[in-house]
Amino acid sequence: MAAVTQTLNNKFNLLSPILGDNRQNQLAQPSSTNTSFLFLFALLNEKRTNDVNPEKGANCSQGTNNKNFLDNIKNLVLLLVTTILTALMSLFGRNQNQGNNTTGSRQSEQSDNSHAAGCCCACCCNESDTAVDAGKTGSITGDPHFKGFDGEKYDIQGEPGKIYNLLSDKNIQVNGKFSKYGSGNATVVSEMGMQIGNNRIKFKAGGTPTLNGQEMEKDKKYRLGDGSIATYDGKKLSLQTNEYKIDVTNQGGYLNSNFQIGQNGVFTDGVMPHGLLGQTADGNNRRRTSTGSEGAGVISGKAGDYEVRGLFDNNFQYNRFQGGRPGWFGQNSNYKPMNFFSLMFGFLFGSPNHNAQEV
């Protein structure tokens, strides 16, 4: 144990040129998380050292040289990993101390998109206030007419054949494909893709929705792994999640959709929603005013910023599916240390299996 402690102290000393004297002073009394990581790597290093038998290495100078070279490589890798983890944890701690809630995040984001009227959300982002916009409704109908959660009315025609994000929130993504309708320039939502955790629902106008590639049966409930429930009554697809109730109605040539926020509001997961419709659930109770076509005055950026490559793609500027604002380490990030390491754990060892089951 003494050797482990000495190794730990040595690593703190080695970090000083990289993190600076002030950061080293912080590390001199490390947090439990920093100590845990460094202790783990020090312990591994100690075990590796104890496993070396010097008597065997003394018989062959070439073997000793090779082994020393490999040991140096291992030490270098060990030091690099330790340094990165320590720096990350220190950075996370600094950001968290600067503001432990997401108020600053939302204020910064809204200032970046100040052209969208009524965007300030400082009133809604206390983590204790979880019933943000509870009970409010929004909708997308016809060619397509949007009604925001604060009563905004705006149109987004988009481009035929392209897919746009409608709602993006933690572990839920709703995208819609816009298609030409009639002989004019009108477009409608002809297909929708919903991803809830690892489950995917696809609904095409005039057809039957599928759940993970299998057609949904009429009047059967499908329980998804995160507790959400999906049903189909032959015309209307309904999805009930912790934060939303979404109804998508088949109109033959297009889809109409209605979104209702649950009684717990949209902030129960610590993430505010986005998307062409989702961003209007901003908690400020102020109706944004449309100043032109394609959602001008209501949406952040332009409609093209919400374009995605597929019905289940979440790679776009305002993505919230993984939680938080894009940019893990920036001041506008909603990520916290455990979120980050949970994502790393899921990447390395696989995410929980959210297979849908009939109820």
Please state, in angstroms and rounded to a whole number, the distance separating the CA atoms of residues 145 and 227.
Answer: 31
**Residue 90 pLDDT > 50:** yes
Q: Are 113 and 106 in contact (CB under 8 A)?
A: no
- HSE (side-chain half, CA atoms, 13 Å) at 67: 15
Question: What average pLDDT score do residues 60-82 get?
Answer: 67
Q: Model-level pTM greater than 0.75?
A: no
What pLDDT score was predicted for residue 83?
Answer: 72
Question: What average pLDDT score do residues 119-147 get?
Answer: 75
Mean model confidence pLDDT for the chain? 74
Pick from 2, 16, 21: which is nearest to 86 by CA? 16
Please state, in angstroms and rounded to a whole number, the distance separating the CA atoms of residues 265 and 139.
Answer: 17
Question: What average pLDDT score do residues 177-184 get?
Answer: 94
pLDDT tens sequence across 146-179: 999 999 999 999 999 999 999 999 999 999 999 9
Q: What is the DSSP string of 28-63?
A: HS--HHHHHHHHHHHHHHHHHHHT--HHHHTT-HHH
Please state, in angstroms and rounded to a whole number, the distance separating the CA atoms of residues 158 and 180.
Answer: 10
Q: Are 121 and 334 in contact (CB under 8 A)?
A: no
Q: Which range, of 123-127, 215-219, 293-297, averages the lowest pLDDT? A: 123-127
pLDDT tens sequence across 266-292: 999 999 999 999 999 999 999 999 999
Q: pLDDT exceeding 90 applies to what percent of the chain?
A: 51
Query: Which of 11-20, 26-35, 169-178 is most confident?
Result: 169-178
Please state, in angstroms and rounded to a whole number, the distance separating the CA atoms of residues 212 and 216.
Answer: 9
Question: What average pLDDT score do residues 198-221 get?
Answer: 97
pLDDT band of residue 2 (cuts 50, 70, 90) is low
What pLDDT score was predicted for residue 236?
Answer: 98
CA 343, 345, 349, 351 torsion-angle sign: negative
What pLDDT score was predicted for residue 64?
Answer: 53
Residue 232, strand partner residues: 237
Rg value, the chain, Cα: 26
